[in-house]
Amino acid sequence: MLHSLRFRLPALFLAGIILAGASSAAIAVGLFQDLERKRSLAELRREAIGIASLYESQFQRFFTKGEEPEKAVLELERATGDRLFYVGVSTTPGEDPLTRTPHLLPDDIVPWRAKLIQTFEFALPGTGQEFLAVAHQVRVEKRAFGAVIVAKPKSQLRERWVTLIQRLGLAFLGGVLIAAGLAWYFGQRITRPVIALARAADEVARGKYEVEVRDVPGRGEVRHLADRFNEMASRLREANELERNFLMTVSHELRTPLTAIRGHVAALREGVADDPELRAESLAAVAGETMRLERLVGDVLDLAKLEANRFTVRREEVDMQRLLDRAYTGFDQEARRRGIEYDQRITAQSTIVSDGDRVLQIVTNLLSNAFRWTPDGGRVELELGADNGSVSVAVADTGPGIKPEEQEHIFRPFWTRDGRGTGLGLAISSELATALGGRIELETSPGKGSRFELLLPARPAAAAAPESI
């Protein structure tokens, strides 16, 4: 649990927030303390200046009339909440200075003679109570004979920032609770897909490719990862399916001609087919089946080489019109037999540099598919066109067309709609087209027909045709 991202992420987030909150609260308290102290000192200063001048006039009167300023002092203490002290010459000798108002402080508590006004801190003798204070000289006839001290108990200052800390603490607690909620929420949002990904990866590792990580919010890295993961899983699925299809198709396609060959050979050996005509037929069938086997093995080998980029293509002058004539005539008879309207349209004359046999292989593949899927009485068209720098060979038919969801499958090896072919024709054709520096494009509307177009460069670029190794 503690090692899980689900716990760690919110914990880290929260720890960061607590740290930031605590340090900013500490800074705020420090600033507040500083400010409070400055404010108090300014206040004490102002009072000290006023009281000192009051004293000076009272003392003047005391000297002349014998009046003492106690009452005024008491009033002042009550009004301001501060305390008043006095250092210097005692007005009544022999009297306990601390019972008087203002209290007389020991002479050495502040070097009052040095400056007109000064700030300092002191502890009250006897009680030990601490004060923040401002001392202001009291001068009569330009002679300083004492100083009034306006003091504020430090405990009063402390009380203020203790309330501040309490409030800050409360706000901090509320903030942390909200942050914890948010941390949990966002942590879940981020970690949920990561955990889903981890689980899906476990499945894939176990060989189950039917996984998909869905509902990943946002467009960040996790989403990217999930998308790529899904892609990867789907490729693994495909590869798996391909392998299965390959084994099934190849073993099936191998077995059928082998069984036929074995049957014919057995018949020939047993002398069943003594009739020379029958024997010739049997031998022709064996030859046909052998060719079929050879073709299959050749196709599989071709595909393997093409996929591994180990395929040799020749470069020679290819007269496209002659090549198409050859391809065309190959299906002439079938067209006539099945009542298929079969046309050849040459709109350009063109000689290109390519591998003639391979181009013929592609066109024948496309024509054979067109004839295979076009119903009797339909139409197949073979077209040659040329654009500057490229030629196009189109094979159009009036077959069933190809459904949108099937369009990406048909170029994959071993995929067939009816399971009767090998599914290698289009796969090899499109790989060959690529190897020749071109491509195959498909236009189709289900129910109406298809049009496969082979586009080839008139002269392949140097890198377009991979050389053999």
Ligand X SMILES: Nc1ncnc2c1ncn2[C@@H]1O[C@H](COP(=O)(O)OP(=O)(O)O)[C@@H](O)[C@H]1O
Residue ranges binding Mg ion (CB under 5 A): 369, 425
Return the structure tokens found at 56: 């000076």
Which positions ≥6 away from 74 have C-beta within 8 Å? 101
Q: Is 270 exposed, middle or buried (0-12, 13-18, 19+ CB in 10 A)?
A: exposed
Total interface residues for ligand X by CB under 6 A: 19
Residue 402, binding choice from ligand X, Mg ion, none, Cβ under 5 to 8 Å by partner class:
ligand X
The answer to the question of residue 427 lying near ligand X (CB under 6 A) is yes
d(C-alpha 277, C-alpha 267), whole Å: 14
The answer to the question of residue 423 lying near ligand X (CB under 6 A) is yes
| Closest residue to bound Mg ion by CB | 425
d(C-alpha 271, C-alpha 98), whole Å: 147
Please report, as residue ranges, which positions from 368 to 387 form the binding site for ligand X (by CB under 6 A): 369-370, 373
Give the one residue of 192, 338, 379, 417 binding ligand X; rule: CB under 6 A: 417
> Which residue, 270 or 405, has its beta carbon nearer to ligand X?
405
**Smallest distance, ligand X to C-beta of residue 412, A:** 8
Helix, strand, or coil here: 251? Answer: helix
**Smallest distance, ligand X to C-beta of residue 428, A:** 8
Kindly report the backbone phi and psi dihedral angles of residue 96, in degrees, each rounded to the nearest multiple of 5, phi listed first.
-65, 115
Task: Specify the stretch interacting with ligand X by CB under 6 A; choose among 176-184, 310-318, 331-339, 394-402.
Answer: 394-402
Task: Specify the stretch interacting with ligand X by CB under 6 A; choose among 115-123, 126-134, 288-296, 397-405.
Answer: 397-405
> Which residue, 10 or 257, has its beta carbon nearer to ligand X?
257
Residue 151 gets the label, from left (phi > 0), alpha (psi -120 to 50) or beta, of beta
d(C-alpha 331, C-alpha 334), whole Å: 5
Q: In this structure, how many other beta carbons lie within 10 angstroms of the beta carbon of residue 324?
A: 21
Task: Specify the stretch interacting with ligand X by CB under 6 A; choose among 97-105, 162-170, 200-208, 420-428.
Answer: 420-428
Residue 417, binding choice from Mg ion, ligand X, none, Cβ under 5 to 8 Å by partner class:
ligand X
Task: Specify the stretch interacting with ligand X by CB under 6 A; choose among 20-28, 84-92, 270-278, 419-427.
Answer: 419-427
**Smallest distance, ligand X to C-beta of residue 464, A:** 23
Q: In this structure, how many other beta carbons lie within 10 angstroms of the beta carbon of residue 366?
A: 27
Give the one residue of 179, 213, 382, 402 binding ligand X; rule: CB under 6 A: 402
Residue 400, binding choice from Mg ion, ligand X, none, Cβ under 5 to 8 Å by partner class:
ligand X
| Closest residue to bound ligand X by CB | 421
The answer to the question of residue 45 lying near ligand X (CB under 6 A) is no
Please report, as residue ranges, which positions from 69 to 88 form the binding site for ligand X (by CB under 6 A): none
Residue 423, binding choice from Mg ion, ligand X, none, Cβ under 5 to 8 Å by partner class:
ligand X
Helix 221-269 vs helix 276-307: angle between axes, to the nearest 10 degrees?
160
The answer to the question of residue 416 lying near ligand X (CB under 6 A) is yes
The distance in angstroms from the start CA to the end CA of the chain is 55
**Smallest distance, ligand X to C-beta of residue 252, A:** 12
Residue 410, binding choice from Mg ion, ligand X, none, Cβ under 5 to 8 Å by partner class:
ligand X
> Which residue, 215 or 405, has its beta carbon nearer to ligand X?
405
d(C-alpha 56, C-alpha 147), whole Å: 10
The answer to the question of residue 292 lying near ligand X (CB under 6 A) is no
d(C-alpha 203, C-alpha 212), whole Å: 10
The answer to the question of residue 425 lying near ligand X (CB under 6 A) is yes
**Smallest distance, ligand X to C-beta of residue 359, A:** 17
The answer to the question of residue 342 lying near ligand X (CB under 6 A) is no
Return the structure tokens found at 74: 């008491």
What proportions of the chain, in percent to the nearest 5, are helix, strand and coil?
A: 55, 20, 25
Output b/e per residue, 434-466; b: 16+ Cβ within 10 A: bbbbbebeeebeeeebbbbbbbbbbebeeeebb
* E strand residue ranges, 278-399: 316-319, 341-346, 351-354, 379-387, 390-397
Kindly report the backbone phi and psi dihedral angles of residue 196, in degrees, each rounded to the nearest multiple of 5, phi listed first.
-60, -40
The answer to the question of residue 426 lying near ligand X (CB under 6 A) is yes
Give the one residue of 175, 263, 330, 421 binding ligand X; rule: CB under 6 A: 421
Sites of contact with ligand X (CB under 6 A)? 369-370, 373, 397, 399-400, 402, 410, 415-417, 421-427, 450
